[in-house]
Structures are given as C-alpha cells and as structure tokens.
A and B are shown apart, each in its own frame.
Chain A
C-alpha cells in the first residue's frame, strides 16, 4: 500500500484537471446535470406553487434518491474506460502512484457534483426572497449532501475499478449505494438486536441527522471513515493487477 506521506499534489492536480476537462468536453456531464436539475426543479416548483410552501425540504429529501442514479452515472466511466481503452497502462507506468490516480479522479467527480448542486442555490435565493426559512439546516443540509455524495462517489470509483464495462460499473455501484440508502428504511424487518447497528450503517440516517441542522461528530466520523474505506478499496482494486 502506498504510503500517504508520499502523495504528490501536482500529480493529483494533473489527473483532476484532465478528468474535469473530460467531463465538460463530452455531453455526458451536461446531460446528467440537466436531468438532475430538471427532476429537482420540477418537484421544487410544484411544492412552491401548488403547496405554497417556501422550503427546500423537497430538495433535501429528493436528492439522496436522485444520487442513486446520478452518482453511478458520473463515476462509472472513471476507471472502467481507462481499463477498456488501455490508457490505464500508460497512466500506471508514469511516475504516479495508484492513490494519486484515485484521489485525482475522486476530486473531479466530487467537483462535478458540487457544480451540479450549485444552481440549486437559485432555489435557495427564491425562498429567501419569498419567505424567511431557517438558514441553519439549509447550510448543514448542503454539507450533508456533499458528504453523502463523497461517500457514494468513493463507492462508484470502487465499482468502476472492478470492471472494463461501464454498464457493469453502473449497476454494481447502484446496488451498493442502494444498500446504504435502504439500510435504515428496512429496520422494521430486522431482528431487534440489529436495529441500532443497521441504522448506524445506513447513509440516509446520518444524512438526515446532519440535514436536521446538527453536525454531530458521530455522523462526520461515519462519512469520513466510509469515504476513506471506499477510496482505499478502489486503490487496492486498482493495484490488483500487481497480485
């Protein structure tokens, strides 16, 4: 395993910049962003005009669900394509460590996620004009979305590292993310002794905690350890060619 101390940020930046450019050079990023915003926007405006509620609640409730499809879509390409076209061989024979490759790609996908969430600030502006919402939970809600998104991107990267086939990568990451998404929703079927453990493992449980306006260290620890673990898995999987 590559020591974290040996990481060179210049390499991460180089890979990050290429991935960002690749996202925005192709229609994929635009399509995904537009679809994302269209779905969120439709529910937001319908609650605003039909229900007459000036709130971002629909946004924060809906995005975790949209993530199920959105995150696999933006991460499936990252490693699977390089494996398929063989460019991974070029990349891996450059003086770049595997963890630098993973971090560069992770940051690029996370930035794309941030860029997708950015236009939703318009909804926030609308609400601030129309009503007087509690700003605290909105800020923590966004933090929660970014943290949960980071974890899911880590999972998506891991899925993408397993295969050359982007469709397979999409399905694998969708299923893993679905598991984390559903964990706290199936508690009623779980044996009583496991309920609290399962609840703690569910991503949505921690996200809801944060989105409620309280940033608890337990939730942060959950997200950061899961993120670290998924990135570690992705790196190990990338190194698998060496076994």
Chain B
C-alpha cells in the first residue's frame, strides 16, 4: 500500500503551513515525521487522512486520489490524531464498536475484532470502564485500538507515544514495529530517540519544507561533521601530562588536541580530526606503545539530535 504525495501545499491565510512537499511511502516502511512545532507535520497528516484539503498538490493512497475516492481512502487508513480525542462518556467496548461500525465492519466480525484489539492493546482490565475514567496511557491505547480496528493498510499516528510512561512507550513502539512489517506507517514525534527506535525512514520537515529524507543511519552518516575523540589517561611520573599532549598531536589526521580537565593523575583530552577519520585504533595503539593507562576512549557520534538541530535552526 503506497502513499504518493506530490507538490503538497497548504496555506492558512497568508501563512504557508506546508510548502510544495513531495514524497512516497511504501509498504513495510515506518516513516517518522520529525520537525519543530508548527513545521507542518500535523497538517500533512490531516491532508493524507482526508480531514483537510490541500491548497495545491495531490495525495494518492494505493493509487486512489484523496479527493476523487475520499471514502475508499478513509477505509484504508487508521488515524490517531494529535491529542487523541475520544468520547469520554462512552465505555471502551462501546466506543470500539462504534468505530468498527463506522468503518463498515460486518456485524459478525465486530465482536471478534473488538476482542482482538482489546487483547493487542492490553485493554482487558478497563474494557467496561468509561473512557473519561482512564489514565492517559490507557486512553492512548484506546486511540490506537480504534485506529487499527478495521485492519487498515495505512496507519497515520500523530505523536502516538505522548503521555505514556517508559514501559508503555516500549510496548507501543514494539507494537508499531510489528505492524510496520505488513503495513505502511506514518508517525510524527518530537522524541528523536523514538524515531531511532521505531522508524526505518525519517523525514525532517522545517517551515513546511522537507529538509532531510533517509534512514536514521543515513542521516547520521550524511551529517557527520568533524571527528571528535575523547580520551582519559592516567598520567604518571614516566608519563607526565605535558608529554602526552604532543604525542597525541602526532597521530595522522589530527587537527587539534587539547587538555580538557586534569585532576590528580587523571587527565581528559579531546582530539579533533578531519571528517571521516576514525582515530580510535591509532589512539589505542599509541597508548599501548607509550605505556599509557587508558581509562576511557570515546568517539563522539553525530546523533539525530545534532542532525535535527543543524537542519531546523537557521
């Protein structure tokens, strides 16, 4: 089930919420939307789910245009909106039945699907409670259950793990990964580690434009800057601090080496090198050759945070 987004633009009055974005999502992909608040993530999702029309551009879900085949498209999509709106006066089972009926599930299948969803989303203990009485974590699970009750091929989730405790987050992420194998999943999040943990593709959006597209690993590789290596070495009479630093500078590729801290006999050094130079092995061999006691050796990697920060601040 593929999603094709072409030249999508949405204006709110004069302001461009999204500005001419295009991308494709294929089955088995778990696409993470990343971006600062107001970047256009939610707007894009609202357009894909047929809630709002774009100002210009088109979206096809499984080859069906969201305008010409709106109802068919909606049948294929399961949607968990931002803030997870729910009818607080309904109990869990009734609400799931309501959702199932609106999705046109056959009468006989409804009870079976509800049972499956209650099981998958861990709602057994609360199924006869009113949604208004539930904790945020349970509400989020109810939101997920209603999004998946009709076995949609496409799942669109706007911040699916917001408000969950760490254990629940792990559960939900596992669930999403599991679903992602057979379905197309689009999710948005602020939490960068979440993207790394669940998504196999990341789209970073900033001010309505796509600024990066690729797997988390690709993005990290692409935006890797200069190498930084941190070493902690125990100095001794044979190896005083002021002799270590010049030796470190002799390593090939080193552009700069500095002493960070020095307390007692423990010294921390930072060594910078050109992009793409892995200094860990030469540094280790040097330490062995010199007889240094290496307490710590750490290569600073480019995190998604760095990539995100770089792309979304100007």
User: Residues of A with Cβ closer than 8 Å to B?
Assistant: 8, 10-11, 14-15, 18, 21-22, 25-26, 85-87, 89-97, 241-242
Contact = CB atoms under 8 A, between A and B. Distances in A.
A26 B130 CA distance: 12
Given A25-B89, A95-B75, A95-B103, A90 B146 contact: yes
27 contacts: A8-B104, A14-B98, A14-B101, A15-B102, A21-B94, A22-B87, A22-B90, A26-B89, A85-B88, A86-B81, A86-B82, A87-B86, A89-B81, A90-B81, A92-B51, A93-B49, A93-B51, A93-B77, A93-B79, A94-B74, A94-B102, A94-B103, A95-B72, A95-B74, A95-B104, A96-B102, A242-B53
Nearest to B97: A14
Contacts of B71: 95, 97
B50 interface: yes
Q: Which of B85, B90, B99: most chain A CB closer than 10 A? A: B85
Interface in B54-105: 71-72, 74-75, 77, 79, 81-83, 85-90, 94, 98-99, 101-104
Given A21-B94, A97-B71, A242-B53, 5 more contacts: A15-B102, A90-B79, A91-B102, A93-B77, A95-B75
> Which interface residue of B81, B102, B104 has the most chain A CB atoms within 10 A?
B102
A128 B48 CA distance: 61
A93 B50 contact: yes
B60 to A, nearest CB: 17
Nearest to A84: B85
Interface residues of B, number: 29
A11 B52 contact: no
A26 B88 CA distance: 11
Nearest to B104: A95
B241 to A, nearest CB: 61
Interface of B: 46, 49-53, 71-72, 74-75, 77, 79, 81-83, 85-90, 94, 98-99, 101-104, 146
User: By CB atoms of chain B within 10 A, which of A15, A89, A96, A242 has the most?
Assistant: A89
B104 A10 contact: yes
Contacts of B77: 93
Given A95-B71, A95-B74, A95-B75, A90 B85 contact: yes
A90 B101 CA distance: 14
A90 B77 CA distance: 11
A8 to B, nearest CB: 8
B46 to A, nearest CB: 7
A87 B85 contact: yes
